[in-house]
Amino acid sequence: MIFGLSTVVISSCEDLLGDLNSGITREMLVDTWKVEETPGQYKSDEEIYWVEISEHLTDTARIIIYNFYNVDADAEAVLSGTTLTLPQQTIEGGYTVEGSGEIQGNKGNEIIWSYSVDDGSGVSENITAIFTRLTF
């Protein structure tokens, strides 16, 4: 009897984790996300704002993040499993950004980001941000 119960519990846990273990698709990330960004040398207060994530039109591994860093500019990230890589790029306004994010939650409802931003001065600011999906 105990063996049967433990099999059910293990199977149930595997079902809960199944979405992330099998990989996240770009389509799963398309949504509006709330961003909570830590303060740094360029931004003195914690900042909360919104971004939109959509699929890249020509590259099936990439997404577009609209309003990245809350400067009304778009950044591109590459999806691989549950990791998003933000390759070094200069976005509108002259900001050079790069970093990575890890998709978390049983439905991929959160992305924990670590990235650097250079406003063009040659000095980089390290940012930690949490993206939380607004719809589930």
Confidence (pLDDT) at 40: 66
The structural domain count of the chain equals: 1
d(CA 77, CA 79): 7
pLDDT > 90: percent of the chain? 70
Confidence (pLDDT) at 11: 42
| Higher pLDDT, residue 29 or 106 | 29
For 60, counting Cβ atoms within 10 Å of its Cβ (0-12 exposed, 13-18 middle, 19+ buried), the class is exposed
Per-residue confidence at 97, pLDDT binned at 50, 70, 90? very high
Per-residue confidence at 135, pLDDT binned at 50, 70, 90? confident
Q: Which CATH number goes with the domain that contains 118?
A: 2.40.128
Confidence (pLDDT) at 122: 94
pLDDT > 70: percent of the chain? 79
Per-residue confidence at 19, pLDDT binned at 50, 70, 90? very low
Per-residue confidence at 105, pLDDT binned at 50, 70, 90? confident
Query: Domain containing 65: what range?
Result: 2-133
**What digits encode the pLDDT tens for the residues 41-55?**
666 677 899 999 999
**Cα dihedral 42/43/49/51 (nearest 10):** 20
